[in-house]
Amino acid sequence: MSAASRALDLVFRHEAGRLEAWLLRRLGPRHFDLAEEAVADAFLAAVTTWPMAGTPRDPRAWLLAAAHRKALDRLRRSATAARKAPLLRARSDAFYQIEPLRPDLDDEVAVLLLAAHPALGREAQVAFTLRTLMGLSTREVAQALLVPEATAAQRIVRARKALMALAPRARLAPARLGERVASVLDVLYLVFAQGHHASEGAELVRSQLVADALRLATLLLQSLARTETARASLPSVHALLALMHFQAARLPARTDGLGELVLLASQDRARWEPRLLARGLRHLDRSAAGREVSRFHLEAGIAALHASSPSEAETDWRQILDLYDELETVWPTPVVRLNRSVAVTRVHGPIAGLAALESLGADSALRSYAPYHAVLGELLRQTGRREDAALSFERALACPVSEPQRRHFARAVAALRATQDDRAVHASRGGGRP
């Protein structure tokens, strides 16, 4: 790959979403397709130009200007060019104004809030934003939401149609800005989770998604802090940032030198990033400013207990279980119940953990969720049910997983099968008796 091609690939991964957000802010919600097409045209122009002319000094500025021109060209070719082309020249007047008194609202934050429009419905908001604005594939969106791929696709299409039907100059009163924040926080959490624990691909961690989620959550915090009517949402944003920083701090220890998965119990905690842990604690402290205790407050509290424990053996699992009990009342999802079963195991043993998992077996959302089968397999192994444990790990292998996870599950299956073979040989020889 040439230097120009490498630069273009890097810029595309880092900047495509920002370029689309910039155009959307000027084109309005009816023109999501046009913004995507103009950015794609700009990158296509770069593919043919940069290898010969060299990489521009400011690649993002080059692409921004190119996308701007491409959008104008497409508008000029349309039947309504005379009416629509001037929209691109306006600073942001034609954009769906989320905060008309604050034109300096970051483009990406503004578009995230736009996609959280109540007309879409919460499920469609999240699916659409993950796919269109955050760049996840429809398959990845489905995996993140634990729904069939066809369901995720339907939600995305439905949301796009609803957004494109909005009045181009409709305005959202500043007093209602905070109402959309909860949906944006869900999106950023899912993006971070997909980066923190990739559901497919060669790497366990997708660092760019982790970085994007942290960056956008920080931009959201800064934007809300400047908007008096939205400040009630700040504690929840701080809580999400605390959770993200605690989890990101552990990333260096989640794989070994060969890129293989290292479970929490075996991680070298000296490799956890102290700077990120400190930031997490600061955000957690600031999250206590409000009266609301959101799901992110509780999850950040759980992550903080892990972060402050010198070792797995010294972790306060009883307090973690108490927090999961509270989290289940606030956010009663299959994944929360699955994670709670791990805490139950640490406090009361694997038999109790298995009992906690029993109610999850019939949940269709978990049938293709590898962590469920892996947790079940580990608890079955701990209770001596090795054949059932091997089958559970094999089911985990059949789910969408990253390659490091796949190798980890394959090793677990091989170890369980080897133990069974050894026992069979031992039994055939009369149990080792002379």
DSSP codes, 140-201: HHHHHHTS-HHHHHHHHHHHHHHHHTS-TT-B--GGGGGGGHHHHHHHHHHHHHHHHT-SSB
Q: Token match 């921004």: residue?
A: 64
Place 200 in a pLDDT band, splitting at 50, 70 and 90. confident
What is the Cα–Cα distance from 298 to 284, expressed in whole angstroms? 10
- For the chain, the first-to-last Cα distance in angstroms comes to 66
> Quick one: which H or E segment has residue 280?
helix 274-286
Could you give phi then psi for residue 261, rounded to 5 degrees? -65, 135
Kindly list the domain boundaries of the chain, sorted by start residue: 1-92, 367-434
Could you give the C-alpha distances from 154 to 68, 138, 144, 165, 335, in angstroms and in order? Answer: 30, 10, 15, 17, 23
Torsion of CA 394, 400, 401, 407, to 10 degrees: 40
pLDDT in tens, 412-421: 999 998 866 5
- CA dihedral over 167, 172, 176, 182, signed as positive or negative: positive
pLDDT in tens, 268-302: 999 999 999 999 999 999 999 888 899 999 999 99
204 pLDDT exceeds 70?
Answer: yes
Place 107 in a pLDDT band, splitting at 50, 70 and 90. confident
Q: Which residues of 358-386 are buried (b: 16+ CB within 10 A; e: fewer)?
A: eebeeeeebebbbbbbbbbbbbbbeeebb
Q: Given this model, what pLDDT does residue 394 score?
A: 97
Contacts of residues 12-19 at CB distance under 8 Å and 24 or more positions apart, as own/partner, are 12/43, 13/208, 14/208, 15/59, 15/60, 15/63, 16/43, 16/135, 17/108, 17/133, 17/134, 17/135, 17/212, 18/60, 18/107, 18/108, 19/60, 19/63, 19/64, 19/67
Q: Given this model, what pLDDT does residue 51 score?
A: 79
What is the Cα–Cα distance from 331 to 324, expressed in whole angstroms? 10
Range 38-65 average pLDDT: 82
29 pLDDT exceeds 80?
Answer: no
Tell me the whole-structure pTM to 2 decimals. Answer: 0.82
pLDDT in tens, 324-377: 999 999 999 999 999 999 999 999 999 999 999 988 877 888 989 999 999 999
7 pLDDT exceeds 70?
Answer: no
Range 62-74 average pLDDT: 82
Could you give phi then psi for residue 112, rounded to 5 degrees? -60, -40
Retrieve residue 104's tokens. 């300096």
State the average pLDDT for the chain: 84
Range 58-84 average pLDDT: 74
